[in-house]
Structure 1
Amino acid sequence: MAKGTGKVLAVNKKANFDYAIEETIEAGIVLKGTEIKSIRKGKVQLRDAFILIRNNEAWLSNMHISPYEQGNIHNHDPVRVRKLLLHKKQIASLTGTMKQQGYSIIPLKMYIKNGFAKVLIGVGKGKKLYDKRQDLKEKEHKRDMQRAFKANQQD
């Protein structure tokens, strides 16, 4: 299976708008208790999530997994910091890119692959305001071209 394939449960749409993604890496995630059940139900938000590297380990912060409804009093904390499962070489390359000016590591999407929860993380450079405006103009131009093409086919 290629990277990023499987049952997609959550997508960080804001990531592609705010960052120019240059590289993607698939990572496993360490979960506790009923978190996997909530993830399988799609109760995940990646909008404000980011990845930190501390003590040669990758950590996913600010990802919200809603508590499982049929769980008990020992449910998990929804926004706790979760460890990502990566190889040492991958963490070393991520650390090197993090030290460069303007680069960030952000989660792009979460999916289930072979029964395991995976996170597709991206290394990207933050876009400036004018880059975002340019992307919006290009998107609008493509949309207008599609409309015109569709109108010509119907005639």
Structure 2
Amino acid sequence: MKRWLALGILFLEALACGYVPKGLWERTWYYAQAWGVDPYLVAAVVWTESGYCPQAVGKAGEVGLGQFMPGTWVRTTGAPPEWRSHPDWALWATAKHLRELWDATHNWRLALAAYNAGLGAVKAGRIPASTRRYVERVLATYWAFRRGRG
């Protein structure tokens, strides 16, 4: 019975697109705190990237909750790219990657820009207008989550 219940929860989480199931919210907090990142910020990134849809696939081939490209995924996790759609791995990797970007920039706006456009582009000062809009969307979502409106 427990196994079927666990499978049912995973199935519901796979259909989560557009809302944050309690289990994913709790795991977002767990992994964010493990990496020393504000859980609301990790949640805002995941919401902006995928709407908390574990099976999300972007136009450029990015996959999962954190919308990782294969190369970034492997560099960040050391895990096979096929694992990008696994909710736990994706939340862990999103928090870890944000921490790495913070450590590289010491500025959350730049770290978010790097999450979207790549650290190389940010360090070279080539931040596209679409990335600037992305950063504003993430921060608006962050503040909505913090105020309990997410």
TM-score relative to the length of structure 1: 0.27
Q: Please identify which structure carries the higher strand content.
A: 1
Q: Looking at both structures, which has the greater relative contact order when contacts are Cα pairs under 8 Å and sequence separation is at least 6? A: 1
